Structure 1
Amino acid sequence: MRSLFFPIGLALLCAQPLLAAAQAPATLTAEPKAYSPQSAPLTLEAAISRAFSTNPGLRSAGRDLDIAAGQRTQAGAIPNPELSYLSEGIKNDARTTTVQLNQAVELGGKRSARIALAERERDVASADLASYRSALRADVVTAFFDVLTAQERLLLAQATQELSQKVTGVAARRVIAGKISPVEETRARVAEASTKIELSQAANDLAQAKRRLAATWGSSEPMVSPVETPGMPAGANPTTDELLARLPAAPQITRSRREIDRQEALADVERRRRYPDLTVSLGSKRDEQIGQRQTVVGLAIPLPLFDRNQGNLASALRRTDKARDELLAIQNKLSAELAQASLRLNAAAAELAILRDEILPGAHSAYDAGTRGFEAGKFSFIDVLDAQRTLFQAKTQYVRALGESHRAAADIERIIGNVEQHGRLTPPQLQNKEMQ
């Protein structure tokens, strides 16, 4: 199953992580450590499939369809007949006995109204299931890319630490050679110590992200294997207006419409209950005193003088009005959320473009110049630290922007549902050579 958005651009990012982009001299650069997976990498399609197969909440939502099927069967049942026996008198020769079969006949279309209500309840259960699947899919996409982003951050922290260790080694050698002050070596060691803190935080964030992903398929144990970068969708991103045009088909909107239909069907049931039911009786009566048996035929119908089900009908009509109001409220809410998510996605794409095309190339250039100048004795070590800090801050900002991009896209999917039917969102592509 292909994911809909993949809005992140993490595909190329993970293929050649940002860390390898530090185009610094060989004496000061470090290649990122490769992952050593304990099992095969988990793909996004496999994560979604596993969540759909084992998520307990999704199974619970699916049970509602079975419940609705039972209600539909019961709604079509007709009332059972009633068998009665009546004995009058104590003495055998003066006793009168009556055996009678009573059958209630529903009038006013009550049975068809019940069937229609059961079918509407089944539609609501189906819409609830579709909405839950859409939300679960979005949760898996978000958790999956959180793991992917955390993996990149860990690689970035590993490379930062390795680079800091190499810089500290260079500084120590230059102190021994008498070319720089021991203060510069102290600064290098402080910078190296800070990278250990970042590495520890990155490892902790990755463990938490894996636990959240595992929770989407109902596991309390964190996953062990790394995640695999998904393929990139093709095509242009839909605009905010195009996304809003898809809103009427959103799962929550569909569910609200079906809830209105259910409430209308319930109101129809209450309306038809105002009509009294007819009871037909057929039996046999034996009078021992005269030794004869007589056929008994009877009809009974309640007189709706006091109880005309007016209270239940009024309540059902108000519930229908409430359902219509809730539909309008949900439409307004989702419209605002969808517009905000679209703007967030566009803002993240713009931020990524600036980082990719302007900030990262400049940071690389400044770092390269600083390291070469430091080795040649033209720049102080503080210049190297500033350039290094700027470079890795830019890369960290890039990873965070990618994370915001996929979260915004997942929010869009959560709102409008499975957009594979309409086309996928295209994440920002990595085009700058420093990022590849």
Structure 2
Amino acid sequence: MNCFGLRAGYASWRARTVHRVLLIFLLLSGAAYGQPQQVALTLDDAILQTLQHNPRLRVFDVRMRGLKGLRESADLAPAYELGAEVENFAGRGEMQGLNASEQTVALSSVIELGGKRSARVALVDARADLLEAERKAKALDLLGEVTQRFVATLAAQERLNLAEDALALARTTLQAFGQRARAGAAPDAEVLRAEAALAQTQITLSHIRRVFDTEKTQLASLWGATEADFEELQGDLFQFPPADDFESLYARAKGSAALAVFASEARLKEAELRLSQARANNDISWSLGVRRMEGTGDTGLVAGVSMPLFSGRRSRGDIRAAQAERDQVAFRREAALLDLHAQLFEAFQNRQQNIDAATALHEEVIPTLDRALRETREAYERGRYSYLDLTAAQQELLDARRRVIDAAASALQYGALIEQLTAEPLSAGKLAR
């Protein structure tokens, strides 16, 4: 069996990746969940359902609504206050009762100086920009998680196919041993050992089937389903798209959404610094009212202006703290860039190593072992080889097919990680598709 000639479509389901998915994410409406039962699930289906229904993304809508409320409050001018004051009453002598009292009704407010209102609004806008950057970064992380779980489930599906092939091979072997035993060319012990091997293969198949069901459930949990609403996955585990060289991938990774968060955070810290600087400017408090003097029956206007002293000196600490917070972002971005380089290089190297291993197993090792098994079976039927020779040849072929599945799955896992780190397909040329 050619294990590379499985379900087609890997090139298409990987080519339509991050950029198109992010566009879909921004255009998705909040449609109610409820997908019909489907036989085969594609990677695109898994991505769309996850972006629609995963609560880790939907929480950003709630946070954005909160910021819109904060922006409305930040854009308000200082409130007006209406106050009333009574003086010179309830005393003794001429001050007894309200005969000599003075009543004042005044309107007061604050004149903000230094652009505080615009600074407050700019700060909330910067928080919204940071939240949007975090949403895109979280979408990329979630996309990577969906892809990796999809690959893990697809690998489990191929292991299940291999286990079913192993079961068929064990039954064929048992039949061959039975025929030789009935002909007196082999001892009955070989038949018993073949029966035991068949039973163990059935146990292994049952275990792998449960693993596959578990992987499907974990994949479906990404879009809020408690059980898999699909029977199998559609995708080819054994085709690897070409990738750009490491320098090109790293250059694209520098503009990824994960690093864009630092740029948005830097703008946020700059907005906080401007607000601290604006608060260093003194505000002017004013009041204007009318005063009535009961003793004479006269009325007059009352006006007042006040300004705090030394507010600039009191704000120096806040300004320095805001400057320090802003400067920290650049260093944290530099550290994140170093980590990104290390992660990307490791993923790039491991992907290529696993591709080389899978290719060598497919093109050299498996065909050789397949031919060796045929020759061993023919020799066994002629009585030239023993039971151990035949079972060893079968096990070597099955082990090689397991290793090629593991290598292919690892290559795709590392490829998904590279796309997650760069926020683009492995090859920039795919963007034109």
Range of TM-score over shorter length:
0.7 to 0.9
Offset of residue 232 of structure 1? 10
Query: Where in structure 2 are there 5+ consecutive unaligned residues?
Result: 10-36, 90-96
Of stretches 229-238 and 383-392 in structure 1, the one that deviates more from structure 2 is: 229-238
CA shift for structure 1 position 361: 0.9
Shift of 1:343: 1.1
Distance 1:11 1:209, change over 3 A: farther
AA at the equivalent of 1:68 = L
Of 197, 204, 211, the residue aligned with 1:198 is: 204
Aligned residue among 142, 151, 154 for 1:145: 151
TM-score by length of 2: 0.85
Task: State the shift of 1:423 in Å.
Answer: 4.4
Partner of 1:434: none
User: What's the counterpart of residue 249 of structure 1?
Assistant: 255
Structure 1 residues without counterparts, runs of 5 or longer: 1-9, 17-37, 426-436
Measured at CA, do residues 366 and 397 of structure 1 come closer, stay the same or move farther in structure 2, by a change above 3 Å?
Answer: same
For 2:245 and 2:196, locate their aligned partners in 1 and report how far apart those are by CA, in whole Å: 48
Runs of 4 or more consecutive aligned structure 1 residues displaced over 6 Å after TM superposition: 230-235
Are 1:14 and 1:152, in contact at CA under 8 Å, matched by a contact in 2?
no
Aligned counterpart, 1:362: 368
**Aligned residue identity for 1:46:** D
The answer for the alignment partner of 2:6 in structure 1 is: 13
Shift, 1:129, TM fit: 0.4
Distance 1:11 1:365, change over 3 A: closer
Question: What TM-score, normalized to structure 1?
Answer: 0.85
Deviation at residue 235 of structure 1 after TM alignment: 6.4
Q: Is the 8 A contact 1:131 1:417 kept in 2?
A: no
Q: Which residue of structure 2 lines up, in the alignment, with residue 433 of structure 1?
A: none
Percent of pairs with identical residues: 28
Contact 2:167–2:201 (8 Å) recurs in 1: yes
Partner of 1:61: 60
- Number of corresponding residues: 396
Does the 8 Å CA contact 2:238/2:408 hold for their aligned counterparts?
no
Computed over aligned residues only, the root mean square deviation of the Cα atoms, in angstroms, reads: 2.5
Of 336, 345, 349 in structure 2, the residue corresponding to residue 339 of structure 1 is: 345
Give the match's secondary structure for 1:276. Answer: coil
1:328 shift after superposition: 1.1
Aligned with 1:301 (options 307, 316, 322):
307
1:389 to 395, 400, 405: 395
Q: Deviations over 1:219-238 (max 9, x none)?
A: 23344421112699996311
Give me the whole-angstrom Cα distance separating, in 2, the residues matched to 1:273 and 1:212. Answer: 51
| Alignment correspondent of 2:276 | 270
Equivalent-residue separation in structure 1 for 2:182 and 2:249 (angstroms): 64
Match of 1:431 in 2: none
Check 1:421–1:188 CA distance in 2 against 1; reply closer, same or farther (3 A cut): closer
Matched letter for residue 42 of structure 1: L
Does the 8 A contact of 2:419 with 2:426 survive in 1?
no
Structure number with higher relative contact order (C-alpha < 8 Å, ≥ 6 residues apart): 1
Aligned to 1:348: 354
The amino acid across from 2:7 in the alignment is C
In 2, are the aligned partners of 1:235 and 1:424 still within 8 Å (CA)?
no
- Deviations for 1:411-432, whole angstroms, at most 9, x for unmatched residues? 112222244894459xxxxxxx
Bigger mean CA offset, 273-282 vs 182-191: 182-191
The alpha carbon displacement at 1:263 in A equals 1.1
Partners of 2:102 and 2:75 in 1: CA distance: 39
How far did 1:188 drift? 2.0
Equivalent pair of 2:340/2:421 in contact (CA under 8 Å)? yes
Contact 1:237 1:424 in 2 (8 A): no
2: CA distance between counterparts of 1:309 and 1:423?
Answer: 53
Give the whole-Å Cα distance in 1 for the aligned partners of 2:38 and 2:408: 26
Contact 1:373 1:379 (8 Å CA) reproduced: yes
SS at match of 2:86: strand
8 Å Cα contact 2:282-2:311 kept in structure 1? no
AA partner of residue 76 (structure 2): A
